[in-house]
Structure 1
């Protein structure tokens, strides 16, 4: 697309919103470009692992469950797409296949817990979490 076409589309977009396109264009001159780290908010994501004990494997436990919650959110997102939108057969099949892949991922991911943590340490720090349980997850 040519620069003139892009500028014309920007003008049209902001004029349709009742806004001045020049205001937004001049704002771009001051704005910092976005990068992956900031867009995904990696700093925030990586700061969410709060443990209650000094057992090293507790952090694995926390991260595993956080990843599980994110995958469950992916599944819910796909289910909303299926139920709230009028999808053609191809898109519907694609969404169902995605949900199937997410489900398979969750089913096989438990090895992280079973084989990735010291059993005795797990049983010790897990007692500090009572009565908390993954079964309390609204998404689960």
Structure 2
């Protein structure tokens, strides 16, 4: 008989972010709206003109894809054999990237950049588990951490 492991009570849920679909729609709609308004003002055509909608669709699609690629929430699980050595390496890497530890809630540590830079980079959440570490952040941050730690 196989038992399903239960989550230990000291483990805190990590943020999962808005998801790929919402991220795409967010960037698509924002870019499409701005493109439509700029096209109406600069080209002198109305909202109902075909070129306005086509241009908004093209720019919105590109912005949606780029926004999703760089800013969706990504989870990285790293198996760790020497927790103290890895913790020191992770701390140094995050410091080089401009992040500092701002708070720790249960088993989750939150790293943030300075006030202004935080608006454009997001937070990095680190959860220490029994056999590894789980990192949650924007995709661009996770890719950077994969390169530096891996």
* TM-score when normalising by structure 2: 0.27
Q: Which has the higher helix share?
A: 1
Rg comparison, structure with higher value: 1
* TM-score when normalising by structure 1: 0.28
Q: Which has the higher strand share?
A: 2
